[in-house]
Each structure stands twice: as structure tokens, then as C-alpha cells.
Amino acid sequence: RKEVEQDPGPFNVPEGATVAFNCTYSNSASQSFFWYRQDCRKEPKLLMSVYSSGNEDGRFTAQLNRASQYISLLIRDSKLSDSATYLCVVRAGAGGAGNNRKLIWGLGTSLAVNP
């Protein structure tokens, strides 16, 4: 089983739609969770951190379910500019080698928002 798993998609949705992505992780000791956005062949950029109580940033809502070991990202009122790959990222918990509590990257979920 991969440490971080995402549905690769692609998700094709019309403008204005609501779309949700899930990501599962295997290490129950994982400490921190993030969603990064990556446009084709460009650098990843942090979209939002994911907090235990869930958090919202404009049209984006992230949630964490520690019991089931998954995080989710909800995008409301999709825009054409939301078309990108969304990377789920998990930071390993205590006990990692040295001080490098490394980030484990999912392969990403591709989203295409269509006019």
C-alpha cells in the first residue's frame, strides 16, 4: 500500500460545480497535512494546510479524519483557473530519521474545469 494515495482522476467538471478530492495515508503517526496545487510542469504551491478541526479558505475547505486516516479537499463554485493537479502531502510523525520528518507526496489528482 502506498503511504499516500490519491485518485489520479482526471476530474472533469463544469464551471460553478462543487468537487471533492480525498486522500488516504497509511501512517497513523502522521503529524501534519497539506494540499499543494501544481500547474502543468510548474512548481507546486501550497494551497492550504489541513487542521484537525477542518479549515476553510474562501471556496476551499479541507478536512482531516484521523480515525479513517484520510484528508479531503472541497472546492466550491469551481473556476476555470482551478484547473490543476492537487497534491496531498503528509508529514511523517516522530521517529523519522534524523530531524527530517519528511514530507510524503501523493501523486496528485488532476482537475479540469470546463466552460
Partner 1 sequence: EAQVTQNPRYLITVTGKKLTVTCSQNMNHEYMSWYRQDPGLGLRQIYYSMNVEVTDKGDVPEGYKVSRKEKRNFPLILESPSPNQTSLYFCASSIRQGAREKLFFGSGTQLSVL
Q: Is 59 in the site for partner 1 (CB under 8 A)?
A: no
At 81, is the secondary structure helix, strand, or coil?
helix
Contacts of 68 (CB under 8 A, 6+ apart): 24
In the complex with partner 1, which residue's Cβ is closer, 45 or 79? 45
Q: Which stretch binds partner 1 (CB under 8 A): 41-49, 54-62, 63-71, 73-81?
A: 41-49
Q: How many CA atoms, within 13 angstroms, populate the side-chain half-sphere of residue 25?
A: 27
> Is 31 near partner 1 (CB under 8 A)?
yes
Instruction: Please give the distance of CA 3 from its chain centroid, rounded to a whole number.
Output: 14
Binding to partner 1 in span 80-109, by CB under 8 A: 87, 91, 98-103, 105-108
Question: Cβ 63 to partner 1, closest distance in Å?
Answer: 17
